[in-house]
Chains A and B, each alone.
Chain A
Amino acid sequence: MPANLSARLCSLALSLFLIVFALPAFAGPFEDAVSKFANDDFSDTEEAIGAVASSGNPLAYPIISALQDGRLMADPDSKKVYVTSADGKSIDAATGQPVASVPDSASAVRLNNRLRRSVDAAVGGLTLMSPDLGMRLQAAQSVFKSHEETALDAVEGALAKETNRSVKATLGDARAAILLYKPDATEVQKLEAVATIKARGDQEALALLTGIGSDQPASVTKAAASAIGSIQSSLAVWSMVQNAWYGLSLGSVLLLAAIGLAITFGVMGVINMAHGEMVMIGAYTTFVVQEVIRTRYPGLFDYSLLIAVPLAFLVAGALGVVIERSIIRFLYGRPLETLLATWGLSLVLQQAVRTMFGPTNREVGNPSWMSGAFELGQITITYNRLWILCFTLAVFAILLAMLRYTALGLEMRAVTQNRRMAASMGIATSRVDALTFGLGSGIAGIAGVALSQIDNVSPNLGQSYIIDSFMVVVFGGVGNLWGTLVGAFTLGIANKFLEPVAGAVLGKIAILVLIILFIQKRPRGLFALKGRAVEA
């Protein structure tokens, strides 16, 4: 049809005109590449990423970054691709023209891990010159990670213009990584690269140096080998520090779980097998608090744990008082029966929670200040573990202060030391018993709030901590809070130093055997109570 033909000629002329002005709008290589995103085929998507990233088109960055965040929509029918943004505006990816709406048949372009790596590398290459400092740093890091040869010019260009020190250092590392893996780089360049990477001294540097292969000049291989040796020996020292940190962190979890038991079992002498369930109830309280916050006040989510702590204390504490009043007080002095009764109680509580909340795990989210990690030297410290350690120590200090400086604390100590004497001094011992048990249970509830951040929130949560808690209290010395503290950290650190050597299973067994042997030697634990309480 002549009309059609003339239209085509016209568009051809127009597109030629536009290409001259470097503004491709009609069917050109760029548009072809973009339309490949609509094929829903991973290898096509990969080609498209490469073509778009190297096109130099101003739309390249919006497209690739949209792909990274799942905002790139493709319509398989019309082969049209759209860039959407959070504020609801969308543009046609091929032309950059705004579109009123994205058709319903369009879906987000899918990625797999291999493509995610290509996307990261592409974004890195495109944002090396970004005015935003954080973005530049991230870009330099992702180029360092991918160290693709094609990025060399961009890195060198950026390096010449960069003024920020840390970005510049990372760019230097990225350049070294690229050169190290570039087959036609000179020996001098490679030796320099090895030295630069050696200076990083971290695991990524080690990975780069180990992976260079054997087809390198002899001097490079030798330099790399010596660099690997020195990095490894410095990392070995760091790994000791790391083990110590992990041990502290595990110890804090053990202490948190055991601290309530140190009150009910240690101070009161009640073998409370339902202790773990108090922890579980604290965790479920956190879940309920978060659910309410999610549906009603989403802005408060970061404070959910702070709100959950007092609530969990009250819920678990109140339940503890009820348990003491209704069951335990009839069983004082009969440890075997207490054990069986509280064990039965723990099953009842578990099944009750299972009926109310269902048998599956419940999701308790991490607030933003408890997610992620930071690097300290060559070790990674995760925020949730760090906060739990601080939290545990705070709870311990508060509890200690309470026992020492409050009237209730004084009464508790009096009752445990000599019940009859305390009673004749006018202390309502049964009220003190109920409150002490409530305090222990409430602290277990608080532990549940923290443990919900690192463990399953399921009806079985408590069971996994009950054995460990008894172990800590018995090892540390019954009736002594400081013993519980030292016991928990000793077990935690010992466990973490054994684990890399013996494996997790054998490590746990070894700890158990050591405790048994220790108890043979010192039946009253690390810090034995002396005085009348022992005979009571």
Chain B
Amino acid sequence: MGKNAETALLKQEPYLVIDHVNKYFVQKKQRLNVLDDINFSMAKGEILCIVGASGCGKSTLLRAISGLDSNHGGQIIIDGKEVVAPSKTRGIVFQEHRLFPWLTVEQNVGYALTVIDKEEKKQLVQTYIELVGLKGFEKAYPKELSGGMSQRAGIARALVNKPEVLLLDEPFGALDAFTKIALQKELKRIQRKAGTTMVMVTHDIEEAVFLADHIIVLDSKPGRIKLELHVDLPVPRNRNSYEFLQVKKRIYEEFFQDEKLPEDYSI
């Protein structure tokens, strides 16, 4: 095997592995399966989108990857190490911005920074504030920001520690359509610039096709992988191109395959 082929193979080495992950809740003495034997792996630097209807366990899966919930069967391995607790190496962006209302934008972004040197810290915070396009709002409190701006600040806060993986839990779910599209573009740009591996949960099929290199479609009750596919469309992606719509349709049909048109009987 040539050296080039060997490095190519190494690159293909899975970075994040979800290995037989199960989770169930007990409700009214009934066992309720939320995640049923989930297996997949992703490469470093990929954007992976987990798509599913609400209640399919996609957020549960993301919380398991973050380490916030460790009460599940199976293993989650990132870069060869099992996830057992939350870690700074995994940044999280939630559906609600979850900024600390008592801290300004720059204090929020710098919250988790462990850099001691003040000048260096300031520089880093500034870099990420500018990266998400919030220059000029450093001293603003969260109450003074719009929904989209708050979410930008949340992204900057999750990125500032240079996490190995960025986890996003329906980050744009609560935004209006225009802000949403703008932020999707921004996220893609940021990802290409910083090269961060991202796992994003969404119920928006178009969002997934626009952003993802790799899509996992989850079935509901119990959450089970229905479809796994790689999106090889060129970037920037055109939401109205034929290829784009084909991928979208493919996923769409996973959800609505049972819905056949009722046969029309007529006499």
Q: Indicate whether A and B interact.
A: no
Residues in A lying within 8 Å of B, measured CB to CB: none
